[in-house]
Structure 1
Amino acid sequence: MSKLYFSYATMNAGKSTLLLQAAYNYQERGMRVVMLIAAFDDRAGQGRIASRIGLESEAIPFRAEDDLHGLIERLNGDGSGEIACVFVDEAQFLGEDQVWQLARVADRLGIPVMAYGLRTDFQGKLFPGSMALLAIADELREVRTICHCGRKATMVVRLDGRGKVMREGAQVDVGGNEKYVSYCRRHWDDRMREG
């Protein structure tokens, strides 16, 4: 039975690196994979997944209104060979319906789905996609990174252009090291309480 996996972490834990490495393992054995990324995440270019250590690959950009089960079903029957695995980067940007569509890819099409993403936003709140994945994924995997103090980082702080901590704002604001810093809960709380 195929499964829906969710590997989650805070920023800069290596989620995209793990995704690209796992996809490469399939491809190296001649197996077909499909990689998906949110269309508005164009940090590496439209339809590209990239890691901080330089690995990158093409991906299919998805939008909030896209039917991912339908997409995978069409691709699986397009004559290019059966899909061995579906990989989703930045899975926190999935809608709840899309998470269920990916569950159906695993359950009805028999294709494993490996989703990688953030658990919480800069305010410590779950993203809708992450909430749905935490609720229905067959297997959850925490990818760990560390705070400057050496403890496990589980939270992220968003910084403005001057390096000041932001406490309010839109949940989605795509960025990298210039905008986000990962902390343990204690140091996240310290930063959020700064005057």
Structure 2
Amino acid sequence: MAQLFFRYGAMNSGKSFEIIKVAHNYEEQGKNVILMTSALDTREKKGTIASRIGLERDAISINSIDNARNLIESELNKYEKRVSCILIDEAQFLEKHHIKELAAVVDDLKIPIIAFGLKNDFQNQLFEGSKYLLLYADKLEEMKTICWFCEKKATMNLRFHDGKPVYEGEQVVMGGNESYYPVCREHYMHPQPRIN
């Protein structure tokens, strides 16, 4: 039975690596997968899923104005045999209409979709895509990582600029370890310098 999954986690929880791994596992068995990502993710080149450990894969970019179901149906026409799974990176950047379109793909076309993304932003607010995935997904799975400052589980993302924590500003500012740290609640509220 096809389902819509949302696998969420703080920065550095291995979401992009997991997508590449899952895609490899399907493809190694001769099964087709479709890889997608938000067009807002510009850390690498557009239409690329890139893991911090150096692995990357090409993916279909989803723009704000795109209908996700139409993109998927167009892509399905390229395959002779069934697509077994659709994998989506940076799903937090999707919009409400995208999530509803993805749910329709699962329900009508019977293709499982696994969406990966952050749950909350650096202000500890839900991203639009995450909010609607939390509402529409059949299964929610947390991907865990540890706090940048201690060994507790990281549940939040702390933005830094010029070595200082930032709690206000635009929701979306692209960056990696130079701009964001995965942190626990304590260190979100009271960040401390990292001691090596």
TM-score (norm 1): 0.94
Letter in 1 for 2:127: F
1:16-73 CA-partner distances (Å, limit 9, x unpaired): 1111100111111111111111113122212110101111100011101111111112
Q: Which residue of 2 aligns with 1:33?
A: 33
Alignment of 1:81 onto 2:51: no
- Aligned residue in 2 for 1:173: 173
Deviation of residue 80 (structure 1)? Answer: 4.0
Q: 2:104 maps to which residue? A: 104
Aligned residues: 191
The equivalent residue for 2:160 is 159
Q: Structure 2: how far apart are the matches of 1:80 and 1:71?
A: 17
In structure 1, distance between residues paired with 2:60 and 2:74: 13
CA distance in 1, matches of 2:54, 2:70: 32
For structure 1, the residue ranges without an aligned partner over 5 or more in a row are none
Which residue identity lines up with residue 141 of structure 1 in the other structure? E
Tell me what 1:124 maps to: 124
Q: Paired residue for 1:10?
A: 10
> Is 2:10–2:118's contact at 8 Å kept on the other side of the alignment?
yes
Asked whether the 8 Å contact 1:2–1:112 carries over to 2, the reply is yes
Letter aligned with residue 46 of structure 1: K
RMSD: 1.3
Per the TM alignment, residue 144 of structure 1 is displaced from its structure 2 partner at its CA by 0.2
Deviations 1:93-140 (A, max 9, x none): 010110011111111001000000000000100000000001110000
Instruction: Report if aligned partners of 2:64, 2:94 keep a CA contact under 8 Å in 1.
Output: yes
Any unmatched runs of 5+ in structure 2? none
- Hey, what's the Cα distance between the residues in 2 that align with 1:174 and 1:43? 6
Aligned equivalents of 1:111, 1:163: Cα separation in 2: 44
Aligned to 1:185: 185
Alpha-carbon distance, 1:82 to partner: 2.2
Quote the residue 1:145 is aligned against.
145
Contact 1:73 1:109 in 2 (8 A): no
Give identity over the alignment, percent. 45
